[in-house]
Structures are given as C-alpha cells and as structure tokens.
Amino acid sequence: MPIHISDTLYLTPLTKTDAECIFDLVNSNRAQLREFLYWVDDVISVESARAYIAQRVDSSLPNAHWFKVHFNNKTCGIFAIKSVCKETYTAELGYWLCSSVHGNGLINKIIEHLVLLVPSLQVEVIEFRCLELNHASIKVALKSGARFVQSIPNYMVANNVTQSLNIYQLEL
C-alpha cells in the first residue's frame, strides 16, 4: 500500500523482490553513493542487492521500516526508520537518493509526513547520523530543524578519508 506524501512523491515498502530495481539504482549511482555509504561496494549483482535488502527488512531492530522512494512515478531511492529506541523514544533515520532527484527536497518532505509512515510508534526524537563530509545529509537534518548533539571522531573511512560521525536530533 503506497504512502502518498504529495502528488509526485510516495513510498512503498521495500521487499526482496525489489532487488533488480535496487541493484540498477545503486549501479547507476555508485560513484555518488560510495562517497558516504559503506555497503555500496558490496552490492555488485542482483543477488547481492537482495542480500542488502534482506539485511535491512529482516533485521531484528525494533520497529524498523524500510521504503522505496518514488518520485514522478520512478523509484529513486530508499528511506528508512532504521530503529526506534523504546527507552528514549528516538527513531534513527536512514536514506539515499539517486543523484537525478537531488535538490527537490524529497527527504525533508518525507520527514514532514513521518507520522504517516508509522502512526503506532511513540517517537519523540528523530535522529540523523551523518558523516562529517556528507553536506547534503547534514543540510537535510538542519533544514528539518534538527540540532547538532554530538560527534564520534574517526568513525569510519569513506572514500579513502577518515571521517567523524555527526549526530543531529529533532525533537517532535
């Protein structure tokens, strides 16, 4: 069942049957995605895309919800509530989009309608985790109204650069 965000933007649940579509998206956006996403070089076939999807949709993380993003009737990325911490009522988000749809404010529009995605969840805080050089994701967090709360130094190497992980939170 699609979740309509606007006339041109909607989400559908991500399933393992989406492996070919997701592989094509990753493959055609590989250079851009690999800058900040550790898993991109592991998605090298439809079968490995299926494993990528399975790791996410079959995770045991509490209240995880994974969606395909559709814009102008084309699949263009992934949006997720990766988990919800029941003790702090914090939902961690994850997302990526094809470069062809950047600049349309899609993720911020989805975040504005977050309550539609999982109405039964009791979420008080949305958390964004962005590598320090991922200016596009940081911009999404800040535009949503999130504030910087912490940095984890030397978190990982991405694109041959050791980067810190910045954490931003939006109180609902």
Render pLDDT for 1-16 as a digit per residue (tens, 0 to 9): 889 999 999 999 999 9
In CATH terms, the fold of domain 3-127 is Aminopeptidase (3.40.630)
How large is the average pLDDT for residues 104-130? 86
- Give the domain ranges of the chain: 3-127
Give the span between the Cα atoms of 44 and 113, in whole angstroms.
33
- Per-residue pLDDT of 126-165, as tens digits, reads 999 999 999 999 999 999 999 999 999 999 998 788 999 9
Q: What sign results for the dihedral spanned by CA atoms 109, 115, 116, 122?
A: positive
pLDDT at 117 over 90: no
Let me know the angle formed at the C-alpha of 74 by 44 and 56, rounded to the nearest 5 degrees. Answer: 45
Residues of the chain with pLDDT > 90, as a percent, come to 82
pLDDT at 115 over 70: no
